[in-house]
Structure 1
């Protein structure tokens, strides 16, 4: 009986490892093409391809992770659909999924978009390498210091991601005055920023940054642009709703 039960258990373990290996491979590929998209050494056309492919790759991996965890809702059952939506929007992968989906379909091309993508891929790749390649001489010689640093500085990496996401929100507001303006996308991105502010996975980093922004900006607003108080208060009511 023990041998019979060990067979399915071993096959499930190998399947999980295969899925993790596939996820790692895609994230490693995303990391490479994202670096091509952000480093100004490649041609503009190659950078644009790297930009799009890295966003598409992250959209696929996070979308698959959500599907693997929650599946699809039951059609015709409103309560089940609502519960499914609640679980999905509360998941860790939902924010990266929506973030990348939003920009992979956008005409706006900002290299800052790739900073969170690179950080997400780097975290996953480093974690996988640390767990499965510790006996590799190639890993110990070239990759171990970087992977160790990434795992030891997760907080710093997450703050970098949050800073990039918030700065991107302000850049999108500025883009409304350019030919690439897209008011709907800007509004949707600020909705996503609002979700980041409230999500338990990102709230700590975003709230700390917004608090610092408020402490820095409020004295100048009070002194030089007091007429902005009412619009800001209205925006804050929407933000905390």
Structure 2
């Protein structure tokens, strides 16, 4: 029975040992912030211990990581004359072993509970911000809300999503190792294609602009709805209030995340065309339009959003290209130049 109980942990330790730490940018940041003496940092057992700690924190919180034994290092530091001392009695090692076992289990329990509570705090903060964003975004879109309140809710929804995205990026990737050009370049290369960073730039683009496009609130509304539904399902599934009123909507949201992502992609691309139209009006902002199309280009190529955006652009091409070939063939040259820039 004891071996059967240890099987899940054994599999988790095997998975932790087989994990590709070198290709995970979080591992390099984590290892650089670990304070280990130089003569211990080069030891493989020390590195394996902190890799398991990293795996427990970021990948599998159920992995039990025992405290690192210091017996080998303390024995190597003892003088050679200690070998001539009389060995202790049989009772003494047992009592010491029992005490060390208790200390080990207590240390591992504390080490396991620390990251869990930290993750809980992060999830709670994200849930609170996303729930607030969802409410103010609904107020911004709802047509019967007064104009002044609607505009204020519009700005607040973008600022809230920007703060939530930035906090998520900081929680996952931390801060740059150093504040020089090379370290910042490496740091931004690791986060530029993440969904949270893309939404952060998206919210800055519209949250700081004088142009009020209610249509641009659809992606952040879908994002907030998805995050709130996930949190409610994971943490309130035993609540009678949740089961009575919120279970069916949350299940629908989690089962239709692909639909929400496609809707967000369509809205993001539609906003791009609205900005092009706004260039010919009194509310034009050429710099914002150019920056947003750069962001759309990033969304087209970033792995987290590429499939949805490429699908929408394919449908647009199937509908528009025959019309251009038939009624406006003179647009072929400008479109070819735009495509070369887009795929570059």
- Residue matched to 2:343: 240
**Structure 1 residue 99 and structure 2 residue 99: aligned?**
no
Measured after TM superposition, the shift of residue 3 of structure 1 is 1.7
Return the offset for 1:66.
1.2
What is the aligned residue count?
A: 241
Q: CA deviation at 1:8?
A: 3.1
What are the residue-to-residue correspondences of 1:114-125 with 2, within 5 Å?
114-125=217-228
Counterpart in the other structure of 2:40: none
Match of 2:182 among 79, 93, 98: 79
Matches of residues 99-178 of structure 1 in structure 2 within 5 Å? 99-178=202-281
- RMSD over aligned CA atoms reads 1.1
1:76 deviation in Å?
5.7
Q: CA deviation at 1:154?
A: 0.9
The CA distance in 2 between the partners of 1:4 and 1:63, in whole Å, is 33
C-alpha deviation, 1:78, in angstroms: 3.8
Unmatched runs of 5 consecutive residues or more in structure 1: none
Higher relative contact order (CA 8 A, sep 6+): 1
- Worse overlay, 119-128 or 13-22: 13-22
Instruction: Give the superposition deviation at 1:179.
Output: 1.2
Alignment counterpart, residue 327 of structure 2, candidates 224, 228, 233: 224
- The structural deviation recorded for 1:129 is 0.6
Q: Which residue of the partner structure matches residue 28 of structure 1?
A: 131
Partner of 1:215: 318
Normalising by structure 2, we get a TM-score of 0.68
- TM-score (norm: length of structure 1): 0.97
Partner Cα distance (1:200, 1:36) in 2: 32
Using the TM superposition, give the Cα deviation of residue 133 of structure 1 relative to its aligned residue in structure 2, in angstroms. Answer: 0.6
Change (3 A) 1:111 1:76: closer
- Structure with max Cα Rg: 2
Aligned to 1:179: 282
Provide the secondary structure at the position in 2 that maps to 1:93: helix
Contact 2:193/2:298 (8 A) holds in 1:
no
Partner of 2:308, secondary structure, is helix
